[in-house]
Structure 1
Amino acid sequence: MSNHTRTTHAGAPVGKAFLPLALALAFSPVAAHATNWTPTRSHAVLLKTATTSPATTGQAPVTHTSYVVNRTGLPQVQSLVTPLNNNKLLHIAVGLTLRNTNQLEAFIRDVNTRGTAAYGKFLTPAQFKATYGPTDAQVQSVVAHLQQSGFTHVTVSPNNTLVYADGNAAAVATAFNASMKTYSDNGKLRFGNDSDVMVPQALGGIVDSVIGLQNIEHKHPMNFLGKPMTETANVTAQGTPVAVTHSPVQFPAIYDAGTTPTAFNTTVGIITWGDLTQTQQDLKTMTTAMAMSATNVRVVPVTLGTAVDFSDDPGSDTEWNLDSQSIVGTSGGVKQLVFYTAANGQNGAADEELSDAGITAAYNAAVTDASGLAKVINVSLGEDETIANKTGTQAADDAIFKQAVAQGQTFSVASGDQGVYVSTNGEFANSAGAVLASPFSLSSYSVSEPSTSPNVIAVGGTQLMTNGTAWAGETAWNDGVAQASDGNERIWASTGGKSLFETAPAWQASLLSATVRQVPDIAFDASSYTGAQIFIGGQRYSVGGTSLASPIFVGVFARVQTYANNSIGFPASMMYRDFPTNASVLHDVTSGNNGLNYNGTTYGYNAATGWDFTTGFGSLDISLFNALAYTWGNGAPATNAPPPPAPTALSNGVAVATQGPAGSSQQFTLVVPGGVTLLSFRTSGGSGAVSLYVKRGSAASATAYDYMSARPGGNNQNVAVRTPAAGIYYITVTSPAIFTGVTVLGSYQ
């Protein structure tokens, strides 16, 4: 080991401080790789099955070894499995066990319970590390073991909970007593461990899990891309409720934001991977088209050893665009939008590189961000809960989400787009329409990790109906069966159900009499038929999925956090306590199903009155939710919105261009001297339909004006005043819709 310091974006440096201990451990049982091994929570992802063929005349019985994937349904590996070549570099994350876990659970409860000494006193990352993070000595023992086993580029996360390293199959065998295998799947190299991950007894109780040892399964986006769109809006006139798509900026009106402030004072995070250049360009296109202020964006690259590929992943741009544009549109604008982006692994052979270790590292970056913590973090990703549990990913993720709750942060996670069939990624029939063969069963349900964590808000999906721009009803989202890219048919519906591994948190157990975590908690619009109009590569598309529902909630909750001075903690316990007695806050979804009907049998869960497995409590009325959720904070006066910009001063006879988002107003003034015989104000050109209000001496509005012009459907508004009194005239241009390129002219003679 050299004496120079190595650093990465993901972790703290490993340098001279580790050298003495490394040398000491070189003669210890750990460094000698003793045969006394102890298990971790990372199990074999490939399970071996031996079958023996009957003996034939003159021949001995032959034993064949086959493999299944350790996930729900135990799917068979269809190709030859061989040892993984040592030339294959693995990027791993070793999850370390938190300290004082009983004390941490009590703190998480008390910090969100009014009347306790800890209420509202959220921890800083440094405070969390000092009390609950692994000690430096524990970290050093793990670092030394990895280095002695042949791992390189070893780094430590700022909170001491994850150790990152690069190694090969030989290093894995030495460090973890585990063997690595590989096979080809549709032309892509897949690898995974076929034995449980172990550590020397000296590290027992320190190492909790090891992730990054497989790329057979990893988190995938939760969106449903629809067709390109040519309209800038798709809202019907007042009349019969219909299902149509909406611009993200219309969700505040649909879900009744009213006077709830924008999220101007709340920082929001998004978990992503790859290059974000196109996403940022499309976000700018969206805010420009909607006449919104540009979004303050920060990108945090999260490396994992030498996994530093941040090339563009066009297939996932849809997801990051949906997340960012839906959050900004619903929130009305945030203080800052932070992308925590893992190294890419989706393009061609690069798909071999992405593992859950990188995504977990991105979660961890959001709770240790030295530049400032995001108050709400969106995760529109998920995978089969069983494999996440078996690989140890679920354990590592849970530790991160606990830290978030202790720090007053909220992770919002899409519940899934596969209905009750997460185990098969929603696929249940091949291209010929035949139901997939055993061991798949239509009555075997599964859910998605990390939405099952008791320390996140799981957001399911609805199909939204509107009447004009008003909410008019929702049903459980189920777009039915559609063909996937591989030709197989799959279901697109709101995922909900029961966790196989997570214990029900107290706030859910008491209301639902549950013993295991049940999802989702709430829901918002997700259907591709009623989804969001999202810019992708400059073109507008309709996009749905619970990847829309979660960002809508993030935008809503960010607004509420701004109103409450960011003093609200993780809201789940308050939701389950207060929602049943505050029904007006909710749009209870009572119809729909998240499964399918096959041969006369209905599978999945049905929506029902109150909480259910399709949409949780339902969606929220933003204004009423804001009034309720404000009481969950510290009771301090709400932060006032920043003062509006000073009115633009007009000069006599000089036209000025203006624009504004839906429902906004732009202010102008004109100083009029004495002796004027005719004063006029005009608007013209551009797009949208504006109204014009004028008042002498004070600000004009739709309820306070001396003169007004509101000709329906146009921008050619005109106000004329004969022999006006001298003074300052205030002019307001406003519209219920977006307006751009409108000119304002004030003149007198």
Structure 2
Amino acid sequence: MPKRHVAAALGAVSALVAGILAASPGAEAAPAAKVIPNTAPSWVGHAQHLGHASTKARVQAKVYLAPRGGLAALQRAALAVSTPGSATYRQFLNPAQYRAQYAPTRQTVAEVESWLRSSGLKVTGVESHYRYISVSGTAAAAKRAFGATIDRYRHDGQTVQAPSRTLTAPASVGAAVLTVTGLDTTAHKVEPTNVKAQLPPPAGFRNARPCSTYFGQLKAKTQADFHTPLPQFDGKYLSYAPCGYTGPQFRAAYEGNTTLDGQGVTVAITDAFAAPTIFNDANKYAENHGDGAYRGGQFSQWTAGKFRHVAECGGNGWYGEETLDVEAVHAMAPAANIIYYGAASCYDNDLLAALAQAVDDNAAQLVTNSWGEVEEGESSDSIAAYEQVFLQGAMQGISFMFSSGDNGDELANSGIKQADYPTSDPYVTSVGGTSAAIGADGSMSFETGWGTVKYSLSADGQSWNPVGYLYGAGGGTSSLFNQPAYQAGVVRSSYRTVPDVAMDADPNTGMLVGETQTFPDGKYYDEYRIGGTSLASPLFAGMTALSLQNAGGGVGLLNPVIYGNATSGVFNDIKGTAKQAGDVRVDFANGVDATGGLLYSVRTFNQDSSLQVRKGWDNVTGLGTPNGGWLTAIAPPT
């Protein structure tokens, strides 16, 4: 899953809190002001302070506007329309109706603009639906506007400007201001790892042989030459990893013999950039593996104009992410429409713009997203901006799902056990991961938590040597959000915990995908196995498209329905045991062919750092994986 590196957060976004700035004795009373919550970067306490920024230092910011009637009222409304049994359940709004009821008025925008200009800031733009006002100016003007000096700091390898404390706004407009972004110049971005910063087809990769067509087909008793024996692992011969599951295998294992196919439902996908070969690749893959070619208009791709920050964002590394997302959704819902939204970069502002475009278009009922970063790196101002989009989406009947992460409890990756964001947000569905053993007949032989410890083959070929923890499904307890009502009575915690559900994510039991790549002998289409919770989220989105087809439309935030079915049997409670300890994987040393030799390793199952699969909800697989019952769990309208 591509990862974000962002500023640290203070806590959950909440309603605006009133505050008074006291005047000094003998001075004229200062105007009353309202605190803008969570706008002081929490990383300041452990950063190197470099002094005040020059009063002439340039600043740019976005002043996000609160929904009409207040954030708390919108949050209550979004939960109500998404909760079965509510008087407003599934009584969704279209974008025009949402704006008429919740968007700030033109008068409010004018009042906020007047305050900003009077402070010396220049208004450089107003978002078309009044989500935010863009401003620029000097540090001195920012201090006059927001009541905080702009200082310089060194942290997280960056030299940045940021507010020295929590921001304020005049009481006359304070209730209209949701948050302010941009004053903290810490880079807010996500990026795929281990890729070159370029935009031709990415470097080629292939999986070596032998591999299994289905789980357990080939026992790993000998190496590829079928003469040199391989050692047992814990006293048993493991099987070779699957070559990569295809659509028919996933549909058989999870969906069963349903006639539902996603017809009439649209799934949106957001990532950075856009692969120019995606339609031809996805169409060829579908025809090769029994998913059926795309009909006219079934797939479309939106991009935000010229790409930027290509080098910083990992360039064409995003192409494989898009390929996986598109092909996984189509594998689970062959008749569903797919719209891909390609952000102009991996920075928060551009990813937010892509999400907002999906909400404003209102064409999709589901939005799947395979990116995020640790909560420690998240900033509260960006949380408010994301939730602005998630809440509007819920009011329009749109469900958001995010991958839970690929680094387990994040301790080895960040030094702190923590969840990721946006997957931990209460207004999205967090999708964790499993290791899935799909047998010869398409049934699930077993499924356990995704968490991998790697063992490499010794130089003499006689033993497996431990390498250490490699990767696993993200999850855990949020440090940003209290427990939402829908988790009460199901999860034993006072805080938001993730994931909510899970599907196959293990790269060693992953999906075969097809993509145009750059090989030593040219650029052409080829196929390889891939995984991560970047696979689990689009698999769940595709399967849920069938549920919405049966239900006759969207449901908004999915979580009240998901947790309302915690004990109904529509989710398989994943066990912490498996019929074998892992599988044997063979890789080309050069990633392309056998000329550089072969590498053998054992990749274990269900060893996900400190996260553990347990009975009921757990922090690896949530409530578990959906089965055929999920397809009819949402009641059609009466």
Tell me the TM-score normalised to structure 2 length: 0.72
Aligned length: 526
- The aligned runs of 1:3-82 (5 Å cut-off) are 37-45=33-41, 47-48=43-44, 68=47
The answer as to whether partners of 1:98 and 1:399 remain within 8 angstroms in 2 is no
- The alignment's C-alpha RMSD in Å is 3.8
* Aligned residue among 382, 385, 409 for 2:375: 385
Q: Partner letter of residue 350 of structure 2?
A: G
Structure-2 residue corresponding to 1:644: none
User: Does 2:632 align with 1:619?
Assistant: no
* Aligned residue among 297, 300, 304 for 2:299: 297
Quick one: structure 1 residues 563 and 575, their matched pair in 2 at CA, closer, same or farther if it must change by over 3 Å? same
Q: Partner letter of residue 101 of structure 2?
A: T
Quick one: structure 1 residues 85 and 317, their matched pair in 2 at CA, closer, same or farther if it must change by over 3 Å? farther
Q: Which structure has the higher relative contact order (CA within 8 Å, separation 6+)?
A: 2
Distance in 2 separating the partners of 1:178 and 1:319:
41
Structure 2 unaligned blocks of 5 or more: 1-29, 196-203, 219-238, 457-466, 518-524, 582-606
Q: Partner letter of residue 229 of structure 1?
A: N
Cα deviations by residue, 1:257-291 (Å, 9 ceiling, x for unpaired):
42242123111111222244244453344334346
Distance in 2 separating the partners of 1:501 and 1:210:
18
Distance in 2 separating the partners of 1:92 and 1:540:
43
Distance in 2 separating the partners of 1:243 and 1:366:
37
Structure-1 residue corresponding to 2:637: 634
Quick one: structure 1 residues 173 and 46, their matched pair in 2 at CA, closer, same or farther if it must change by over 3 Å? farther
Deviates more, 1:504-513 or 1:309-318: 309-318
User: Does 2:612 align with 1:606?
Assistant: yes
Structure-1 residue corresponding to 2:472: 493
Q: Partner letter of residue 610 of structure 2?
A: G
- The aligned runs of 1:472-551 (5 Å cut-off) are 472-480=445-453, 491-536=470-515, 537=517, 538-551=525-538
Quick one: structure 1 residues 403 and 153, their matched pair in 2 at CA, closer, same or farther if it must change by over 3 Å? same
Shift of 1:165: 4.7
Distance in 2 separating the partners of 1:289 and 1:384:
38
The answer as to whether partners of 1:260 and 1:560 remain within 8 angstroms in 2 is no
Distance in 1 separating the partners of 2:574 and 2:133:
44
Structure-2 residue corresponding to 1:566: 553
User: Does 2:533 align with 1:554?
Assistant: no
SS in 2 for 1:499: strand
Cα deviations by residue, 1:505-557 (Å, 9 ceiling, x for unpaired):
22211322432211111001111111122233333232211111111100100
Cα deviations by residue, 1:168-211 (Å, 9 ceiling, x for unpaired):
6566445434415366977x776544543333333312112122
Q: Partner letter of residue 534 of structure 2?
A: S
The answer as to whether partners of 1:480 and 1:493 remain within 8 angstroms in 2 is no
Structure-2 residue corresponding to 1:467: 439
User: Does 2:357 align with 1:365?
Assistant: yes
Deviates more, 1:258-267 or 1:221-230: 221-230
SS in 2 for 1:548: helix
- The aligned runs of 1:314-353 (5 Å cut-off) are 314-335=316-337, 337-345=338-346
Structure-1 residue corresponding to 2:11: none
- The aligned runs of 1:5-404 (5 Å cut-off) are 37-45=33-41, 47-48=43-44, 68=47, 83=53, 90=60, 92=62, 94-147=64-117, 149-158=120-129, 160-165=130-135, 172-176=142-146, 177-179=148-150, 181=152, 192-214=162-184, 216=186, 218-220=188-190, 228-229=206-207, 235-236=213-214, 243-244=241-242, 245-290=244-289, 292-294=292-294, 296-302=298-304, 309=308, 313-335=315-337, 337-345=338-346, 354=347, 356-369=348-361, 372-388=362-378, 390-404=379-393
Shift of 1:219: 4.8
Shift of 1:215: 5.4
Tell me the TM-score normalised to structure 1 length: 0.62
The answer as to whether partners of 2:274 and 2:322 remain within 8 angstroms in 1 is no
Shift of 1:339: 2.4
Shift of 1:294: 2.6
Cα deviations by residue, 1:397-436 (Å, 9 ceiling, x for unpaired):
2232222222211001111112111xx6x426xxxxxxxx
Distance in 2 separating the partners of 1:328 and 1:482:
34
Structure-1 residue corresponding to 2:10: none
- Percent identity at matched positions? 24
User: Does 2:445 align with 1:455?
Assistant: no
Q: Partner letter of residue 583 of structure 1?
A: G
User: Does 2:398 align with 1:409?
Assistant: yes
Q: Partner letter of residue 342 of structure 2?
A: T
Quick one: structure 1 residues 285 and 145, their matched pair in 2 at CA, closer, same or farther if it must change by over 3 Å? farther
The answer as to whether partners of 1:269 and 1:366 remain within 8 angstroms in 2 is yes
Shift of 1:128: 2.0
Shift of 1:589: 3.4
Distance in 1 separating the partners of 2:490 and 2:101:
32
Distance in 1 separating the partners of 2:609 and 2:155:
34
Bigger CA radius of gyration:
1
Distance in 2 separating the partners of 1:84 and 1:328:
53
Distance in 2 separating the partners of 1:455 and 1:191:
31
Structure 1 unaligned blocks of 5 or more: 1-33, 50-66, 69-75, 346-353, 429-439, 594-600, 636-749
SS in 2 for 1:263: coil
